[in-house]
Structure 1
Amino acid sequence: MFLIVKIGVSAILIAIITEIARKSPEMGGMIAALPLVSLLSLFWLSVQGESLQHLSQFAKGVLLGFPATAVLLLIVVLSLKASFPVIISVVFGICGWGGCLMLQKLSSVRYSGERRNILSNGIRSCLCCRTSSLRRLDGGMA
């Protein structure tokens, strides 16, 4: 029953936004750009009893997905301006979205590995500096 309520509320919101967009495309676009889906999802997860940690991870995921969504929308806008059909524009956008997410994932994996290397090299450097400093203080005995 709860699933039907969620679907109904979500469908009503989408219908309202679509009607606004028919009368004013810019206004409809601005309303559609609001994080309604994210906020609704956050609300429904909260109502269903998910932990604050879970909600925080969800919100972080939404935030991490924002750059890829911006790329998708930019590609769709440019494709439509170049007179590509809607379906082709959306497919191009989805491909750009997926590519952006893959780049984000690769860069985060690469960055986290580099961060560990930098951190461990930094610690080794500090230990080496400390050891050489101690040698100088002790007259080379350390």
Structure 2
Amino acid sequence: MMVWMKLLTSALIIATVTELAKKFPLYGGVIAALPLISLLSIFWLTIQGETAKQIQTFTMGVIIGLPATIVLLLVVYIMIKHSYSIVLALVAGIIAWSVFLGIQKLLFEHFNIHF
């Protein structure tokens, strides 16, 4: 039952944001950039009885993932701006995201940063 509630809630949010983005692309983008997924995830983890430590670790994972997500979005934006196809821009963005996360992981290991 809980899985279906999560799926329905998430689907409704995504559908609402994409419908808004069709009419108001800039505002749709701003709303899509809100930490809706992170906040929903924290909410559902809390409802499911996860510990504060688990939620803290999840939140740190979100923080660690933010720079790579910014890189992905920048690559997609720049490629679309230069008239590349959406598919190519998304693939390049995902590759850039993966490479950035890999470099970030190596840097964390090199400087002995643990979370």
> For structure 2, which runs of at least 5 residues remain unmatched after alignment?
none
Give 1:4's aligned amino acid. W
Structure 1 residue matching 2:111: 3-state secondary structure:
helix
User: RMSD value over aligned CA atoms?
Assistant: 0.9
CA–CA separation in structure 1 for the residues paired with 2:43 and 2:96: 29
- Establish whether residue 92 from structure 1 lines up as the match of residue 92 from structure 2: yes
Q: What is aligned with 1:14?
A: 14
Matching of residues 89-128 of structure 1 within 5 Å: 89-112=89-112
User: RCO (CA 8 Å, sep 6+): is it higher in 1 or 2?
Assistant: 2
Matched, 1:69 2:85: no
One-letter code aligned to 1:104: Q
Per-residue CA deviations over 1:8-47 (Å, capped at 9, x if unaligned) read 0000000000011000100000000000011111111111
| Identity among equivalent pairs (%) | 45
Name segments (4+ residues, structure 1) moved above 6 Å.
none
What is the alpha-carbon distance in structure 2 between the residues aligned to residue 42 and residue 100 of structure 1? 25
TM-score by length of 2: 0.96
Question: Which consecutive unaligned segments of at least 5 residues does structure 1 have?
Answer: 114-142
- CA displacement, residues 92-132 of structure 1 (integer Å, 9 cap, x when unaligned): 0000000110011000000118xxxxxxxxxxxxxxxxxxx
Q: Higher Cα Rg: structure 1 or 2?
A: 1
Aligned residue number for residue 24 of structure 1: 24
TM-score, normalised via structure 1 length:
0.78
Paired residue type of 1:29: G
2:82 — aligned with what?
Answer: 82
Q: Give the aligned length.
A: 113
Q: Distance in 2 between matches of 1:90 and 1:82?
A: 14
1:112 aligns to what SS in structure 2?
coil
Q: Deviations over 1:51-95 (max 9, x none)?
A: 000000000000000000000000000010111111110000000
Q: Give me the whole-angstrom Cα distance separating, in 1, the residues matched to 2:3 and 2:88.
A: 32
Q: Distance in 1 between matches of 2:81 and 2:109?
A: 36
